[in-house]
């Protein structure tokens, strides 16, 4: 028997109904015909067809083009504390299964893939770092965040604190302000530092979760970094866009004869140096503050040689409007890297934008290889680690491309 519905009703077009029926949880503003009943920005509403058929329940955003973000298609669900606790536990149980011993640092909540619209929760040991990009989740964080603490501590995990990293401009599209700071957990003292230490692939990292990019550390490349370490032994490695040195450190730990880590950010390079020092890897590593595009051009005219180059750039496109220019940017750095490598050299390359789909990224690599006059022998095609699960009906969750080649 269906639960009596007390939510406002959002009437959805046939196109919107079909879109949701295909598995996507977003309903765009153009597909909302009208809303019956009183509601506030971030309230729960029922989405129904023009014939009155129940489609699902979700958070409405009065200022975003993504007007409704569905959280359930079950008319019997009650969106109380127990509902959200089940969701948190389901996400945690999944990570325990797929991450195994690597559960210490992982993505605990991956937005829509875990049915928490636009909510990110990263676990750095006993610190949780969150980023909330939808007004609906913002409204219920006082329920969800204590549940994160409760579910983990009930399972024997220590949680010293939850830090919010909401200092992103995209929040304004949902009518929210930017902010960052500790979330108030009743009875839990606020940690004294906004830095912590994690261990990934046997390497120690200092994580600045207050000022570092995104939540402080990119967890999605965990196993791609491990794949790089297996190839690096005895090689001279150039790690471009090193950030805090994660690929470079894995290459050094894997036995590279020399590793050069490059980033345009002085603060990132300083953190990379600290990470190298605490892992005893400084003897084989050097660090440069430089623009990668300029560096790759200048290296072409120098005697300095590398036989393994890693490209892990930031997203060159964050919208469909800039895909063409991003294609050119990706091709430029990949072309330059291919030209620098000797025959038999190795090459790892990545893109972290879902607006650059795999088929377009592959097309770019073909074009770059042709212009560089080289052939690519594929070693591995990889993606994000399984704590960032991909929903096949939600292409936005499928964003990371990672390839390892030998240049022949």
Which residues carry out catalysis? 352
287 — phi, psi (to 5°)?
Answer: -130, 135
Q: How far is CA 264 from CA 218, 243, 288, 296, 372, in A?
A: 17, 9, 8, 13, 25
Q: How far apart are CA 43 and CA 53, in angstroms?
A: 20
Tell whether the torsion through CA atoms of 199, 354, 209 and 206 is positive or negative.
positive
Residue with tokens 């880590």: 261
Sequence-distant (6+) residues with CB within 8 A of 124 are 105, 196, 198, 207, 209, 216, 217
DSSP secondary-structure letter at 172? G
Are 129 and 159 a contacting pair, CB within 8 Å? Answer: no
Residue 115 neighbours by CB distance under 10 Å: 17
Pairing of strands 346-351, 308-311: parallel
Q: Specify the 3-state DSSP secondary structure of 75.
A: coil
3-state helix, strand, coil in the chain (%, to 5): 35, 25, 35
Sequence-distant (6+) residues with CB within 8 A of 271 are 206, 208, 212, 244, 245
In 85-235, DSSP assigns E strands to 105-110, 119-124, 127-132, 161-166, 179-182, 195-200, 203-208
Q: How far apart are CA 355 and CA 332, in angstroms?
A: 18
């Amino acid at each position: 028997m269906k639960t009596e519905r007390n939510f406002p009703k959002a009437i959805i077009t046939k196109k919107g109904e079909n879109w949701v029926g295909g598995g996507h949880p977003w309903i765009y503003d153009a597909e909302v015909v009208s809303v019956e009943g009183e509601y506030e920005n971030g309230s729960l509403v029922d989405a129904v067809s023009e014939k009155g058929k129940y489609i699902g329940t979700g958070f409405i955003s009065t200022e975003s083009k993504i007007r409704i973000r569905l959280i359930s298609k079950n008319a019997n669900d009650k969106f109380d504390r127990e509902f959200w606790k089940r969701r948190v536990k389901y996400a945690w149980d999944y990570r325990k299964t797929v991450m195994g011993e690597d559960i210490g640092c992982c993505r605990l909540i991956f937005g829509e893939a875990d049915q928490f619209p636009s909510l990110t929760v990263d676990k750095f040991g006993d610190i949780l770092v969150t980023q909330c990009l939808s007004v609906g989740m913002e409204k219920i964080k006082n329920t969800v965040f204590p549940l994160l603490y409760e579910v983990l501590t009930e399972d024997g995990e220590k949680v010293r604190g939850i830090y919010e990293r909401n200092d992103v401009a995209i929040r304004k599209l949902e009518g929210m302000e930017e902010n960052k700071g500790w979330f108030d957990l009743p009875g839990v003292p606020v940690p004294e530092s906004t830095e912590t230490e994690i261990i990934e692939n046997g390497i120690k990292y200092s994580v600045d979760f207050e000022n570092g990019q995104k939540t402080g550390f990119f967890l999605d490349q965990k196993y791609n970094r491990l794949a790089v370490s297996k190839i690096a032994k005895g090689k001279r490695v150039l790690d471009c866009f090193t950030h805090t040195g994660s690929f470079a450190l894995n290459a050094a730990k894997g036995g590279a004869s020399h590793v050069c880590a490059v980033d345009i950010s002085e603060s990132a390079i300083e953190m990379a140096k600290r990470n190298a020092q605490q892992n005893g890897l400084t003897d084989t590593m050097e660090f440069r503050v430089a623009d990668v595009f300029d560096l790759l051009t200048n290296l072409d005219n120098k005697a300095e040689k590398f036989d393994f180059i890693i490209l892990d750039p930031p997203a060159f496109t964050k919208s469909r409007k800039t895909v063409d220019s991003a294609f050119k940017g990706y091709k430029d750095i990949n072309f330059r890297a291919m030209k620098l490598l000797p025959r038999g050299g190795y090459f790892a390359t990545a893109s972290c934008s879902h607006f650059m789909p795999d088929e377009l990224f592959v097309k770019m690599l073909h074009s770059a290889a042709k212009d560089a006059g080289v052939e690519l022998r594929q070693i591995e095609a990889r993606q994000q680690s399984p704590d960032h699960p991909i929903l096949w009906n939600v292409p936005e969750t499928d964003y990371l491309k990672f390839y390892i080649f030998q240049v022949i």
